[in-house]
């Protein structure tokens, strides 16, 4: 099935935080995506499953607290305040996200993650393709990233999309002092790079992942 991709909005932050914690449980400090959405350098996208929704109520108390408040109001004969919160609305079920920072003609991939239950469905490829396209729309020419030295599957994904290793940041990750592999592309607007992206895009259409 196809997974639509769109720009991340504030409503997505809670789900994105959950995906981030699931994908990077030892990452410290944790990213502040609410703040990232206010950062003019940052650009984030999400992929979602349009066959599912996530019911959210912005300020719903937990059931124990709700029960206690109700009993206290009953004892004191206090009428509940009319709610100013809209009834719960269907939310798109976010299955993955990716982000970049754009600085002049350079783009840096900050995050790319997919829910565990949706992995091995080529959603990571779809997000990477989409974030590269977004970088091009923002006039970037080169894209860089860091990836854990032990994360061979991610490195293979990036190589598939034209990234090559250009360096190492020793002890980069704070949780265990693991090295980071620095990877970069050639000019993403070059004919050869765009031709390669088109082949990858067509493969995703054939798989039915890209709509």
With CA atoms as reference, report the closest residue to 99 among 76, 68, 70, 132: 132
Catalytic machinery residues: 146, 158
Cα dihedral 158/36/88/58 (nearest 10): 140
Residue 200 and residue 6: Cα distance in Å, rounded?
Answer: 19
Whether the upstream peptide bond of residue 29 has omega within 30° of 0, thus cis, is yes
End-to-end CA distance of the chain: give it in Å, rounded.
8
Buried b vs exposed e over 89-112: b needs ≥16 C-beta within 10 Å?
eebbebbbbbbbbbeeeebbbbbb
Phi-psi region of 208 (alpha: psi -120 to 50; beta: other; left: phi over 0): left
How does DSSP classify residue 116?
G
């Amino acid at each position: 099935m196809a997974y639509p991709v769109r720009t991340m909005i504030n409503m997505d932050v809670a789900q994105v935080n959950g995906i981030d914690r699931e994908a990077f449980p030892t990452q410290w400090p944790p990213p502040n995506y609410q703040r990232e959405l206010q950062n003019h350098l940052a650009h984030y996208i999400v992929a979602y499953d349009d066959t599912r929704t996530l019911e959210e109520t912005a300020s719903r108390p937990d059931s124990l607290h709700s029960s206690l408040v109700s009993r206290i109001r009953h004892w004191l004969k206090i009428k509940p305040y009319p709610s100013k919160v809209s009834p719960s609305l269907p939310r798109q079920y976010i299955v993955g996200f990716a982000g970049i920072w754009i600085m002049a003609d350079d783009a840096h991939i900050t995050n790319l993650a997919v829910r565990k239950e949706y992995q091995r469905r080529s959603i990571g490829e779809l997000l990477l393709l989409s974030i590269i396209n977004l970088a091009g729309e923002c006039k970037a020419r080169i894209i860089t990233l860091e990836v854990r030295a032990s994360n061979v599957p991610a490195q293979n994904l990036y190589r598939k999309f034209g990234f090559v290793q250009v360096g190492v940041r020793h002890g980069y990750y704070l949780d265990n002092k693991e090295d980071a592999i620095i990877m970069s592309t050639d000019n993403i607007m070059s004919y050869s790079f765009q031709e390669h992206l088109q082949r990858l895009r067509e493969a995703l259409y054939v798989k039915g992942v890209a709509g």
